[in-house]
Amino acid sequence: MKTETITLPGDVPGNAIELRVLRFEGGDANAPTAYLQSSLHGGELPGQAALHFLVPLLEKAKAEGRIAGDITIVPQANPIASNQWQAYQHLGRFELFTQTNFNRAFPLLPDFDTSGLLDIDAPVPLAERLKATLLRLALPHEIVLDLHCDDQSENYLYIHQDFLADMLDLAAALGSKAILSWDSTADAAFEEACAYPVLQLSADARDMKRRAVTTVEFRGLADVDFETGWSDAQGLYRFLVHRGVVRDDGETLSASFDGPVTPLSHVEMVRAPQGGMVLYHVVPGDEVREGDSLVTIVTRPGDASGDVTLTAPQTGRILTRRSLRYVRRGDDLLKLLGSRLSAVAKRPGALEA
Contact between 191 and Zn ion by CB under 5 A: the answer reads no
| Residue count, binding to Zn ion (CB under 5 A) | 3
CA-derived radius of gyration, the chain? 21
Chain centre distance of CA 345: 21
Segment 242 to 271, residues that bind Zn ion, using CB under 5 A: none
- Minimum distance from residue 127 beta carbon to Zn ion (Å): 15
Separation of alpha carbons 145 and 137, rounded Å = 12
Contact between 41 and Zn ion by CB under 5 A: the answer reads yes
* Among candidate residues 137, 144, 141, the one with its CA nearest the CA of residue 158: 144
Contact between 154 and Zn ion by CB under 5 A: the answer reads no
Element (H, E) at 206: none
Stretch that binds Zn ion, among 46-54, 145-153, 161-169, 303-311 (CB under 5 A): 145-153
Between the alpha carbon of residue 20 and those of residues 94, 194, 197, 228, the distances in Å are 22, 20, 26, 23
Between the alpha carbon of residue 61 and those of residues 68, 69, 137, 241, the distances in Å are 10, 12, 22, 10
- The binder of Zn ion chosen from 104, 131, 148, 322 (CB under 5 A): 148
Residue number of the CB atom closest to Zn ion? 148
Q: Which is nearer to Zn ion, 26 or 46 (CB)?
A: 46
- Minimum distance from residue 307 beta carbon to Zn ion (Å): 33
Q: Is 294 exposed, middle or buried (0-12, 13-18, 19+ CB in 10 A)?
A: buried
Stretch that binds Zn ion, among 147-155, 184-192, 269-277, 284-292 (CB under 5 A): 147-155
Contact between 151 and Zn ion by CB under 5 A: the answer reads no
Stretch that binds Zn ion, among 35-43, 48-56, 299-307, 344-352 (CB under 5 A): 35-43
List, edge to edge, every strand of the sheet that includes 326-327. Answer: 307-311, 293-298, 276-280, 326-327
* Among candidate residues 349, 332, 342, the one with its CA nearest the CA of residue 312: 342
Stretch that binds Zn ion, among 44-52, 241-249, 291-299, 305-313 (CB under 5 A): 44-52
Helix axes 190-199, 126-138, angle to 10 degrees: 50
Segment 14 to 33, residues that bind Zn ion, using CB under 5 A: none
* Among candidate residues 258, 259, 246, 231, the one with its CA nearest the CA of residue 174: 231
Stretch that binds Zn ion, among 10-18, 140-148, 286-294, 304-312 (CB under 5 A): 140-148
- The binder of Zn ion chosen from 44, 70, 128, 150 (CB under 5 A): 44
Contact between 131 and Zn ion by CB under 5 A: the answer reads no
Contact 80, 10 (CB under 8 A): no
Q: Which is nearer to Zn ion, 220 or 276 (CB)?
A: 220
Q: Which is nearer to Zn ion, 96 or 298 (CB)?
A: 96
- Minimum distance from residue 146 beta carbon to Zn ion (Å): 8
Binding site for Zn ion (CB under 5 A): 41, 44, 148
